[in-house]
Amino acid sequence: MSRFWYFTIILSMVTFMLSSFTWMSLPVTKQEKYIERYTKKDSEDTPNEKSFKSYYLDLGRGESTIMLTPTNQVILIDVGNVESFNKLSFILQELGITTIDFLFITTNEIDHSGALPELAKKIAIKNLFISKSMTEGMEDNVKQTISKMSNVITMSDGKKIHIEDQVEIVAYFENPLVLSIRHNEITYLHMSDGNFETEEELIKKYPKHIKAHILKVGNHGQSLTCSDEFIKTVNPQVAIILGGDREDNNRPSYGVLERLTESWIDVYQNDVKGTILITSDGAKYDVKTHITAY
């Protein structure tokens, strides 16, 4: 080998090593840290078919989550706004859902409950769960729909609903209705429109019971949610932020995103990632985004 090529190779290697060292030594800013965590690839270790599936829906307007148990029971948490009902109806149809076994309306806000009258016309609802005080601020047509339903169960603080073997739901706050959903070893905490005040009450009363692997962030990730103490208490691995009413520019707060990512929590926003699917076998879980085929 000629001296020219020898020195060329040596110089290239030295240049590469120096550039790598320089890149590794760069300080990671908060924004870079956010991007680094947010773009983490989803797991490829998919649980088996006898699984618990949670679809965090990208409705554009309103909030809704579909959970399918290992024995194919259907849990629906909130129904979104009336303007987004066609999307919800399409997804239910694609999943082959003709009956909802357990429907939870977590707040009287229209972006959570507004589509109930339309849903009740098209889908059989076996059990509806609401809190005692929730109907006071509901839209009249939503209240009328509830009054005509035969099996309406009032959820109180601490009430437990046994869904099936290894699946149960517990209410830890009444308005909004905060739900802890457990599938064997995996726990989901669904905060509805909960804010700092809700979080403080939960920390005082149930510090050990609100720990969860997956946190559905309260109030669409607005600024008065996810305090540092709450994040530390729940200690989630994944945080889901459902966007609410996108036409009203209802985006999550940067401060909330920062607090979550600085705690090394994987954050998924459905205004960025579309419909989010979490599949669990009760011991491990898999997160997939941009779900379009059901």
Q: How much is the pTM?
A: 0.83
Distance of CA 24 to the CA centre of its chain: 34
Nearest to 236 by CA among 218, 217, 215, 219: 215
Q: Is residue 241 classed exposed, middle or buried when 0-12, 13-18 and 19+ CB atoms within 10 A define those classes?
A: buried
Are the C-beta atoms of 269 and 22 separated by less than 8 Å? Answer: no
Instruction: Tell me the domains of the chain and their CATH numbers.
Output: 40-288 (3.60.15.10)
Averaged over successive runs of 10 residues, the pLDDT of the chain (294 residues) comes to 53 48 37 34 52 96 96 98 95 97 96 96 97 85 94 94 97 94 98 96 96 97 95 98 68 92 96 96 97 85
Q: What sections of 62-133 are H helices per DSSP?
A: 85-94, 110-113, 116-122
Exposure string of 136-166, with b = 16+ CB inside 10 Å and e = fewer, is eebbeebbebbeeeeebeebebeeebebeee
**Helix (H/G/I), strand (E/B), else coil: 146:** helix
Are the C-beta atoms of 55 and 216 separated by less than 8 Å? Answer: no
- Residue 3: its pLDDT value, please? 54
- Residue 26: its pLDDT value, please? 34
Query: Alpha-carbon distance 236 to 28, whole Å?
Result: 23
- Residue 249: its pLDDT value, please? 58
- Residue 49: its pLDDT value, please? 60
- Residue 29: its pLDDT value, please? 37
Q: What sections of the chain are H helices per DSSP?
A: 3-24, 30-38, 85-94, 110-113, 116-122, 140-148, 196-205, 228-234, 254-262, 270-273
Are the C-beta atoms of 86 and 114 separated by less than 8 Å? Answer: no
